[in-house]
């Protein structure tokens, strides 16, 4: 058995355990969340606590650690857009993680071009190859963390990111969040087919 060190969340400082979780739940995709405040200010912020919640209906989720402007806006308006974060925009993604005041738009402060969404009011990032337009489905709070679930009402994918009609990983070129302030890129991509039990070695097929 390999030597292991044990970490008990009940006896560790919550921040220390947060850093540990952040370093081991990796790599994480980054949701570039666009929202519009009740006053009409367009907000853009990266969130790497991000995944798919449901297939049908299509629901995605991200977690706001604390009451970030994104969360406040989405609670107020019920709409947001998740854009994919391509490697070409890594500096811009990081810059939108700056704690700008709510009345300042990250689109303007960082110099990110908007494009209109089709089904919701918050804009898309024009240079991002994917935009998932969402309406708020539900929020779930765990103390200071709030999970925001959004039902996708429209998906827009750049033609240039499609190969044979499907989004291609090399064309999307997404970045990922790792531990602390580390970022990851897509490395070697392996294609491995799932093995059905019928094809499992030794399985008797009558």
In whole angstroms, the minimum distance from the beta carbon of 197 to ligand FMN comes to 37
Among 34, 64, 77, 105, binds ligand FMN (CB under 6 A): 64
Q: What is the DSSP letter of 198?
A: G
Buried-state track 28-48, b at ≥16 Cβ within 10 A, e below 16: bbbbbbbbbbeeebbbbbbbb
If one asks whether residue 97 binds ligand FMN (CB under 6 A), the answer comes out as yes
Return the residues of window 44-63 that contact ligand FMN according to CB under 6 A. 45-49, 63
CA separation for the pair 47, 81 (Å, rounded): 12
Among 19, 94, 119, 153, binds ligand FMN (CB under 6 A): 94
Q: Which residue has the tokens 């994480």?
A: 28
If one asks whether residue 68 binds ligand FMN (CB under 6 A), the answer comes out as yes
Tell me the number of residues near ligand FMN by CB under 6 A: 17
Among residues 111 and 165, whose Cβ is nearest to ligand FMN? 111
3-state secondary structure of 95: helix
Return the residues of window 7-46 that contact ligand FMN according to CB under 6 A. 30, 43, 45-46
Give the max Cα distance, the chain: 69
Q: What is the DSSP letter of 119?
A: S
Please answer whether residues 77 and 35 qualify as being in contact, where contact means their C-beta atoms are separated by less than 8 angstroms. yes
Return the residues of window 145-184 that contact ligand FMN according to CB under 6 A. 177
Residues that bind ligand FMN (CB under 6 A): 30, 43, 45-49, 63-65, 68-70, 94, 97, 99, 177
């Amino acid at each position: 058995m390999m030597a292991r060190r044990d970490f008990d969340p009940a006896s560790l400082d919550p921040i220390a355990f947060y850093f540990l979780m952040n370093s081991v739940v990796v790599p994480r995709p980054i949701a570039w969340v666009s929202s519009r405040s009740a006053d009409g200010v367009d907000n853009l912020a990266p969130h790497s606590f991000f995944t798919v919640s449901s297939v049908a209906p299509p629901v995605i989720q991200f977690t706001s650690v604390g009451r970030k402007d994104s969360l406040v806006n989405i609670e107020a308006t019920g709409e947001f857009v998740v854009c994919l974060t391509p490697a070409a925009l890594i500096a811009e993604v990081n810059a939108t993680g700056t704690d700008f005041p709510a009345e300042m738009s990250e689109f303007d402060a960082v110099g990110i071009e908007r494009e209109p969404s089709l089904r919701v009011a918050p804009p898309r990032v024009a240079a991002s190859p994917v935009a998932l337009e969402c309406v708020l489905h539900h929020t779930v709070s765990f103390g200071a963390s709030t999970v925001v679930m959004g039902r996708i009402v429209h998906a827009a994918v750049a033609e240039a990111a499609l190969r044979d009609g499907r989004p291609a990983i090399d064309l999307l070129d997404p970045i990922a969040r790792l531990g602390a302030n580390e970022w990851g890129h897509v490395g070697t991509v392996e294609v491995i087919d799932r093995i059905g039990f019928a094809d499992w070695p030794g399985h008797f097929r009558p």
